[in-house]
């Protein structure tokens, strides 16, 4: 339910995260925390591990060491509640190119346990896809495909948004739409974790920064 109070409880916390890939340590002893109404921007050079960190947050990969905490409990004990409140839009967008816009959104609706926050037709309207509602995604442009992927954000009520470079291929209108979405979500007490090195142009949002890579004084140098 929309929560307009600014709570000081730490909802998501990561402690001592260490992740390695192909015998390369990407980051060591990473710590961060997130409260309601906060946005975390993960910055770093290409290949520094931004996407890996996001995938760790989605439990698609497992860290070498370290734990996540959700509402103070270890993540592996509350994994089901956690996954219900998380939406992940990753590098490959998670929409089927061979289905139409409406069919894609219907599938996402059926796969989730929650009822829709906004009716599907309204979501399609908001994202400016009304005339392409029944076109197969193959025939749409990259920007329009990205909008379909982002349309999932409005479908269900989710506390934590994890987005990996969401603004790629979006035009000016799309970008402003996205920034409106951020503001709406943050003001309702949600949390966003976003991996991008482009500046986020959002008014009135508290953006925390997390830098991954060798230039980061925070991330310990791994032996």
Residues of the shown chain interacting with other proteins in the complex, contacts defined by CB under 8 A: 21-23, 58-62, 80-81, 83-86, 88, 90-99, 103, 107-108, 110-115, 156-159, 223
Distance of CA 111 to the CA centre of its chain: 18
Q: Closest Cα partner for 120 from 147, 90, 154, 89? A: 154
CA distance 52 to 62: 10
**Shorter beta-carbon distance to other proteins: residue 13 or 81:** 81
Q: Containing H/E element for 88? A: strand 86-89
- CB of 133: closest distance to other proteins in angstroms? 16
Q: How far is the CB of 125 from other proteins (least distance, A)?
A: 23
Nearer to other proteins, 113 or 131 (CB): 113
- In the complex with other proteins, which residue's Cβ is closer, 115 or 199? 115
- Among 8, 21, 27, 11, residue whose Cα is nearest residue 68: 11
Q: Which is nearer to other proteins, 60 or 142 (CB)?
A: 60
Residue tagged 């966003």 (tokens): 192
Residue 23 C-beta: closest distance to other proteins, Å: 7
């Amino acid at each position: 339910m929309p929560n307009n109070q600014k709570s000081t409880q730490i909802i998501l916390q990561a402690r001592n995260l260490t992740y390695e890939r192909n015998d390369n340590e990407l980051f060591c002893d990473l710590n961060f925390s997130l409260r309601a109404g906060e946005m975390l921007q993960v910055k770093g050079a290409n290949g520094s591990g931004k996407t890996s960190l996001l995938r760790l947050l989605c439990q698609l990969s497992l860290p070498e060491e370290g734990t996540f905490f959700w509402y103070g409990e270890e993540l592996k004990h509350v994994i089901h509640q956690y996954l219900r409140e998380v939406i992940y839009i990753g590098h490959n967008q998670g929409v089927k190119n061979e289905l139409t816009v409406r069919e894609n959104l219907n599938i996402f609706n059926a796969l989730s346990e929650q009822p829709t926050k906004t009716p599907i037709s309204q979501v399609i309207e908001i994202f400016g896809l009304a005339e392409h509602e029944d076109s197969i995604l193959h025939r749409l442009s990259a920007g329009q495909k990205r909008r379909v992927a982002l349309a999932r954000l409005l479908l269900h009520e989710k506390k934590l948004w994890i987005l990996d470079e969401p603004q790629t291929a979006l035009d000016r209108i799309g970008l402003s739409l996205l920034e409106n979405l951020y503001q709406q979500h943050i003001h309702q007490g949600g949390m966003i974790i976003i991996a991008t090195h482009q500046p986020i142009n959002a008014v009135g949002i508290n953006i925390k920064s997390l830098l991954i890579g060798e230039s980061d004084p925070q991330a310990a140098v791994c032996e």
